[in-house]
C-alpha cells in the first residue's frame, strides 16, 4: 500500500511540473523559475536629456558619471527671465536611469537650481 501511495505522489509531482512547464516559453525560463530566479530582460537603448541653466562646472559633473555626452547650448526662459541653458544629452540604456537621477540631483545642488528637468525616450541605436 505504501508503495502505491509513493508512486501516486511521484506521478502527481511530475504532472504538476509538466503543467508549470507549459506556462513558460522555454526550458531556460522554466529552469529560472524552478531556481527561484527571474531572468532579466536586456537593457533598452535610451536617450536622456537634462535641461538646466548653463554653468561652467556642468561638463565636469557629467564626466563623473558618464564617459560621453553631448551638450547643447541655448537660451532658456525661467519665470519670465532669459538665461543661458545647457541641454545635456546622454545615450545609454534603461540601466542608466539611477545615474541620470543622481547627476541631475548633483547639478541641481551644485548650481543651486530650483528645478532640473530630465526627459528620456527609447531609441534605436547603431554604433558604427
Annotate 37-90 with DSSP letters as a single string: --PPPPPPEEEEEEEEE--TTHHHHHHHH-S--EEEEEEEEETTEEEEEEEEEE
The residues spanned by each domain of the chain are: 2-34, 45-122
pTM score: 0.66
Burial (CB < 10 A; 0-12, 13-18, 19+), residue 124, is exposed
Q: What is the pLDDT of residues 8-48, one digit of tens each?
A: 676 667 656 655 555 555 555 556 656 665 556 678 899 99
pLDDT number for residue 25? 56
Query: In the CATH scheme, what is the code of domain 45-122?
Result: 3.30.70.120
Amino acid at each position: 500500500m505504501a508503495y502505491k501511495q509513493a508512486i501516486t505522489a511521484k506521478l502527481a509531482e511530475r504532472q504538476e511540473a509538466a503543467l508549470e512547464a507549459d506556462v513558460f516559453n522555454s526550458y531556460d525560463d522554466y529552469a529560472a523559475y524552478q531556481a527561484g530566479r527571474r531572468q532579466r530582460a536586456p537593457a533598452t537603448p535610451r536617450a536622456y536629456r537634462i535641461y538646466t541653466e548653463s554653468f561652467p562646472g556642468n561638463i565636469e559633473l557629467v564626466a563623473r558619471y558618464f564617459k560621453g555626452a553631448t551638450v547643447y547650448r541655448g537660451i532658456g526662459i525661467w519665470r519670465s527671465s532669459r538665461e543661458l541653458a545647457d541641454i545635456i544629452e546622454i545615450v545609454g540604456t534603461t540601466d542608466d536611469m539611477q545615474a541620470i537621477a543622481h547627476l541631475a540631483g548633483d547639478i541641481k545642488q551644485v548650481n543651486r537650481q530650483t528645478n532640473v528637468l530630465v526627459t528620456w525616450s527609447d531609441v534605436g541605436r547603431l554604433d558604427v
